[in-house]
Structure 1
Amino acid sequence: MLHAPRVRALETRHAELELRIASEGSRPRPDDQALQRLKREKLQLKEEMEKLRRAN
C-alpha cells in the first residue's frame, strides 16, 4: 500500500484529536470554539484518510 505510512500518521493524529475533544467536552465549561475547531480538523483528517484508502 503506497499511502500506508501517511494513513497511519493520520490515524494517530485522528486518535489524538478524539482524546482532546473528549477532554475538552468533559470540562465544566468547555470552550465551544475550541471544540468546533478540533471536530472540524478531525473530520478533515477522516476525509483525507478515506480519500487515500480509495486511491489504492
Structure 2
Amino acid sequence: MDNAHSSALIAKHAGLDARIAAENNRPAPDGILIANLKKQKLKIKEALRQV
C-alpha cells in the first residue's frame, strides 16, 4: 500500500472515532449506528495492519 492510501485510512479511522464520540454524547445514542461505526473502524484497523 502506498503512503497516500495509508493516510486516507488513518483519516477515515479518526473520522469514525469522532462520529462514535458524537453519537455517544447525544441524549439518546443509536446503539445500532454505533455498532456499525465500530465495525467499520475495525475493518480499517485491520487494513492498516496489513500495510
Q: Please give the TM-score of this superposition, normalised by the length of structure 2.
A: 0.93
* Cα root mean square deviation, aligned: 0.9
Unaligned runs of 5+ in 2: none
The one-letter code sitting in structure 2 at the alignment partner of 1:23 is: A
- Superposition misfits of 4+ residues, deviation over 3 angstroms: none
Q: Select the structure of larger CA radius of gyration.
A: 1
Deviations 1:18-39 (A, max 9, x none): 0000000111110000000000
Q: How many residues align?
A: 51
Q: Please give the TM-score of this superposition, normalised by the length of structure 1.
A: 0.85
Q: Percent identity?
A: 37
